[in-house]
Amino acid sequence: MSDDARRPDKIRMEDVLGSDAEDENDSDRIEVIDAEQPSFVEDPTPGPREPETASPARALSSVEEELGTALEEKEKYHDLWIRARADFENYTKRVQRESEDLRRMAGSELLERILPVLDNLGRALEGDSDGPGFREGIALITRQLAESLAAMGLEPIVAVGAPFDPVFHEAVATQKDSGQPPNTVLEEVQKGYMFKGRVLRHSMVRVAVASEGSEESGAAKPET
């Protein structure tokens, strides 16, 4: 018998392991191949987008447009300011002119009221100053003048017999033992006047004071 006849056939791995092992080897080989191949599937999650930058020409055009709008508003407000200033200056001048007119009118009204008094004074001086009617004429003129001034808002301050009040009176002299209560106005040296509720001129007066050693004098002294 020849050697080939005695040598057994070549044993294959498939014969030993069977077909199942072959399938497993194929599966492993396929998995390895799949793992080695790169994946071309895109990531569904989008990444950060780069900001879109405007072109220089478009940006310059926007800046020029905003600048033009700002200049228009500046001119508008400047014109409004000029008009407001002119209106205020005109108003100030008008008020000043009206105030001057009122002062002139007030002076003219006073002069119109005093003119008849001047006429009567002229007539009195033309007459006989030694006659019995001269004094009566002067008294009439004085009363007429007082009435004219009272119509303009002038009124005399009551002084004699009234308590001394520094708001209306100014003491220029004092007198003791006058028989009057202390701080009583005894005499009016110069008449004072009120004009429309305000003191125009204080009355200069002589005031009674208590004699030294009297109870009034002691009560009037400030405590020390």
Cα angle 220, 222, 223 (rounded to 5 degrees) comes to 125
Q: What is the pLDDT of residue 82?
A: 93
User: Which amino acid is residue 7, in one-letter code?
Assistant: R
User: Which amino acid is residue 185, in one-letter code?
Assistant: V
Q: How big is the chain, counted in residues?
A: 224
Q: Is the confidence at residue 5, as pLDDT, over 70?
A: no
Rounded-to-integer distance, Cα 162 and Cα 59, Å: 90
User: In this predicted model, which residue has the larger pLDDT, 102 or 164?
Assistant: 164
Q: Which of 76-90, 102-116, 125-139, 177-191 tops mean pLDDT?
A: 76-90
Which two structure tokens, joined as six digits, stand for 135?
């004094």
Least confident of 129-133, 140-144, 196-200: 129-133
Dihedral class, residue 160 (left if φ above 0, else alpha if ψ from -120 to 50, else beta):
beta
Which two structure tokens, joined as six digits, stand for 112?
């119109």
Domain 66-152 has CATH 3.40.50.300: no
Q: What is the pLDDT of residue 17?
A: 52
Which two structure tokens, joined as six digits, stand for 214?
């009297």
Rounded-to-integer distance, Cα 130 and Cα 207, Å: 37
Backbone angles phi, psi at 40, to 5 degrees: -105, 15
- Residue (of 190, 185, 189) closest to 161 by Cα position: 185
pLDDT tens digits along 53-81: 557 888 888 888 888 889 889 899 999 99
Instruction: State the average pLDDT for the chain.
Output: 75
Q: What is the pLDDT of residue 202?
A: 93
Q: Is the confidence at residue 51, as pLDDT, over 90?
A: no
Q: Is the confidence at residue 215, as pLDDT, over 70?
A: no
Which two structure tokens, joined as six digits, stand for 53?
């930058």
Rounded-to-integer distance, Cα 157 and Cα 194, Å: 6
Instruction: For residue 12, give Cα distances in angstroms to 8, 16, 19, 22, 110.
Output: 12, 7, 12, 11, 151
pLDDT band, very low/low/confident/very high, at 207 (cuts 50, 70, 90): very high
Mean pLDDT of 110-126: 79
pLDDT band, very low/low/confident/very high, at 44 (cuts 50, 70, 90): low
Domain ranges for the chain:
66-152, 153-218
Chain centroid offset of residue 82 CA: 22
127: Cβ contacts below 8 Å, ≥ 6 apart: 133, 134, 137
Rounded-to-integer distance, Cα 157 and Cα 198, Å: 11
For domain 153-218, give its CATH number from 3.40.50.150, 3.40.800.10, 2.30.22.10, 2.60.40.10. 2.30.22.10
pLDDT band, very low/low/confident/very high, at 224 (cuts 50, 70, 90): very low
Q: What is the pLDDT of residue 88?
A: 93
pLDDT tens digits along 157-200: 989 999 999 999 999 999 887 788 899 999 999 989 998 889 98
